A and B are shown apart, each in its own frame.
Chain A
Amino acid sequence: MTRDVIFSLALHGVIIVATVVSSPFDVSKRSPYGEVIRVSLMSLPSPPAKQAPEPVTIPQIRAETPSEIPLQAPTTAKEAKVTPKPKVKKERTTGTTDESAASDKKQIESPATGTGSPFYGATIDNATFDYPYWFTQAFNKIAGNWRNPVLYEGTLVCAVYFQVIRSGKMIEIRVETSSGVPAFDQACLTAIERSTPFPPLPGEFRDEIIGITVPFKNR
């Protein structure tokens, strides 16, 4: 009898202890809202505290980046704020003069010579010609007449140079860089010859002639 009473008391004790110990975990586990995230109102002032240092860091970054370009010894923040601007400008001007000295050729920027276009990489030898519409129209005509007769797994590139005068008439055409496949080179020449006359050069353009190099790719 006493054994039974002790056993039941012990069992009760164990159950009570177990419920007391496990109850807070049980509540969190059974919560239908998933994980409980602790939120405190004290964290609200913290974002302005984080933003505040940012304006301080930005000038530091700006001061560092130009100083990296001239590859000079780091200077103080005050000097860095003044010096980088003229240095960058100087670099740009020297860069362009170097390019123009090396060659008058200028990359043509028009939708027809975008990266997806077969004419990507076309250049013009007169850097003052700034009429993208002209290239859009001219390259659209060439694209309409362009047929590749060569079935070839690899990449073929043939650069054709041609000159156009004010009226839109083509006066010279030649293969600048051969693809090595005569039929492909001939097809490139034919595409341009069939596209003549080209649109007349804009009235505001001063020079009488422009020369264009067009790379044709088979893929």
Chain B
Amino acid sequence: MKSRILMFSIVLGLIPSAVCLAQGNNVRNIFFDTIGGGFQPTKIGVDNMQYIGDQYITAADSTLMQFTTRIVQNDVEFYADFELVPVDTFYLRVYEIAELDILGWQRLGAAYVVKLDAEFPGPNLRVRWRLFDTARNQQIAKGNLEQVKSQWRELGHDVANELVRTLTGEAGIFRTRILYMKRVGDGKELFMADYDGANEKQLTKTATINISPIFSPDGQTVYFVSFLKGDPQLFKVDVGGGKMSQVTNFAGMAAAPAVSPDGNKIACVLTKDGNSEIYVLDLDGRVIKRLTDHRAIDTSPTWSPDGRLIAFSSDRAGHPQVYIMDADGFNVRRLTYEGGYNDSPVWSARSDRITFVSRTKSGRFDIASIDTSGHDYRILTEVGMNENPHFSPDGKHIIFSSSRLGPIDVYMMDITGRSQRRVTQSGGCSNPIWGPLR
């Protein structure tokens, strides 16, 4: 009897391990079959900026060099394709060295090292950057950049943009700007800031609620919805001068504007015919065409980068889901089937993905994304209430608002959900939008 129990338990123990082995094999096959080698973020070390002039420098200039280095490091750390290799001070102490050479960086795992040298010609800061391949000790690229000292943040971003251009061939996003609504008194005002939240600037002073901002493709005009005249209507404001003017004046409300990629049309939600429907307007607010005609609520239009398709959310299936239609309103098809509530779709600038707010099984609102073919649904956030996603102009990052730490603030992440960071610290910031490349 005992031996039977023993045999039985041994067999019972073997089954799960066999199942694990089988699953492990399957997972491995799927991985190699579908994703090939897979993408690896490029590991980059950013060395501290060195002064190469022959004068004595002031403490302020020394601090300036440190801060500018920090900007470059922050940008590299945040960028989706890069991974910052931090300076290991323990390593330096053990080997009793003041700074790392190329071999030292290679030992820390960096594939590339950026060396920064500073000079101070007159009122300016001039930075010479050099990029090295650590495996070969080969200088790949170099350049000089110069700015007034007060523009040190821009100078740091420019260096990071050059790194992105050299290593990926694409335009960097570090000089782009973001827009968001911030609670001021009883109203919500429109604010603009650098992509990292610095240099915040207030664009509107209406003392009312303003929502749903969107940049024009040239980045000079911002369209938004304001309750200034009672019903919500479409307004626009000039980014440079702050001049504000009304665009639409329809019965009912206007909401959720989306400027077309060519900058000549605005897709917008109007309730003038009784129900919330999507229309295409010209830039002066005249209706060109009505796109949807359904008893259900159709809202949140977003253009594909080629301007030929529009995604929107509709509760025609009983609960909000994301749909795609041609830009003339025909050929409507449902995109999302997972999650009982999918809203606020935004089309990626790379045109391959759509991100949206999804109510997940836990009952939380999370940022999710899906391939435009309707496959590969991914949930990107894990904590707090997350809303209002919007893509960066390179399509590699997502900006959104979240109340994960209590007050609602603007956050960022890359499209895989990695390197989430808080951008605004003041609370009451929502509806973030990422501006075009500059």
Complex Cα–Cα for A65 and B39 (A): 45
Find out whether the CB atom of B170 lies under 8 angstroms from the CB atom of A118.
Answer: no
Task: Indicate if the CB atoms of B136 and A132 lie closer than 8 Å.
Answer: yes
**Could you tell me if B42 and A137 are in contact, using CB atoms closer than 8 angstroms?**
yes
Q: A residues within 8 A CB of B32?
A: 219
8 A Cβ contacts from A166-219 to B: 168, 194, 196-200, 202-203, 216, 218-219
Q: Are A147 and B35 touching (Cβ within 8 A)? A: yes
User: Judging by beta carbons under 8 Å apart, are A147 and B34 in contact?
Assistant: yes
Find chain B residues with CB under 8 A from A136 CB: 111
State which of A137, A146, A199 has its C-beta within 8 Å of the C-beta of B35: A146
> B40: nearest residue on chain A (CB-CB)?
A140
A112, A133, A143: the one contacting B138 at CB < 8 Å is A133
Contact of A7 with B by CB under 8 A: no
Residues on B with beta carbons closer than 8 Å to the beta carbon of A58: none
> Are the CB atoms of B39 and A143 closer together than 8 Å?
yes
A148 B34 Cβ-Cβ under 8 A: yes
B32 (CB) vs chain A CBs: closest residue = A219
Instruction: Tell me the dominant secondary structure on chain A's binding face.
Output: loop
A199 touches B36 (CB 8 A): no
* CB-CB nearest in chain B for A136: B111
- CB of B295 to closest CB in A, whole Å: 38
Cβ of B405 under 8 Å from chain A: no
A111-146, CB < 8 A from B: 111-112, 117-119, 131-133, 136-137, 139-141, 143-144, 146
Interface size class of A (residues with CB under 8 A): 20 to 34
- Stretch of B89-97, B161-169, B310-318, B322-330 with 4 or more beta carbons under 8 angstroms from chain A: B161-169
Complex CA distance for A216 and B32, rounded to whole angstroms = 12
| Residues of A with C-beta under 8 A to B40 | 140, 143
Q: B residues within 8 A CB of A132?
A: 133, 135-136
Expressed in whole angstroms, the minimum distance between the Cβ of A85 and any Cβ of chain B is: 29
Which B residues lie within 8 Å of A203 (CB)? 141
Q: Are B37 and A118 in contact (CB under 8 A)?
A: yes
Roughly how many angstroms separate A218 CA and B138 CA in the complex, as a whole number?
A: 34
B33 at the interface (CB under 8 A from A): yes
A144 touches B39 (CB 8 A): yes
Interface residue? A151 (CB, 8 A): yes
B140–A117 CB distance below 8 A: no
Which residues of chain A are near B123, meaning CB under 8 Å? none
Could you mark each residue 35-56 of chain B with 1 if its beta carbon is under 8 Å from any beta carbon of chain A, else 0?
1111110100000000000000
| Beta-carbon contact of B169 and A146 below 8 Å | no
CB of B33 within 8 A of CB of A218, answer yes
Which residues in chain B, 109-137, are within 8 Å of chain A measured between CB atoms? Answer: 111-112, 133, 135-136
* Complex contacts, B167 vs chain A, CB 8 Å: 137, 199
B218 at the A interface (CB under 8 A): no
Whether B34 lies near A199 (C-beta < 8 A) is no
A133 touching B36 in the complex, CB below 8 Å, given contacts A141-B168, A199-B168: no
B262 interface residue (CB < 8 Å to A): no
- B352 on the A face (CB < 8 A): yes
B136 contacts A137, C-beta separation under 8 Å: no
Give bound CA distance, A87 to B116, whole Å.
49
What separation, in Å, do the CA atoms of A16 and B133 have in the docked complex? 86
| Nearest 9 CB-CB pairings of A with B | A144-B39, A168-B169, A197-B169, A146-B36, A143-B37, A133-B133, A199-B169, A118-B36, A198-B169
* 17 A-B pairs with C-beta separation under 8 A: A118-B37, A131-B133, A131-B140, A132-B133, A139-B37, A140-B40, A141-B168, A143-B35, A143-B37, A143-B38, A143-B39, A147-B34, A148-B33, A148-B34, A199-B166, A200-B169, A219-B33
> With A132-B136, A137-B168, A200-B169 given, can you name 11 additional A-B contacts, CB distance below 8 Å?
A132-B133, A132-B135, A133-B112, A133-B138, A136-B111, A139-B37, A140-B39, A143-B37, A144-B38, A146-B36, A203-B141
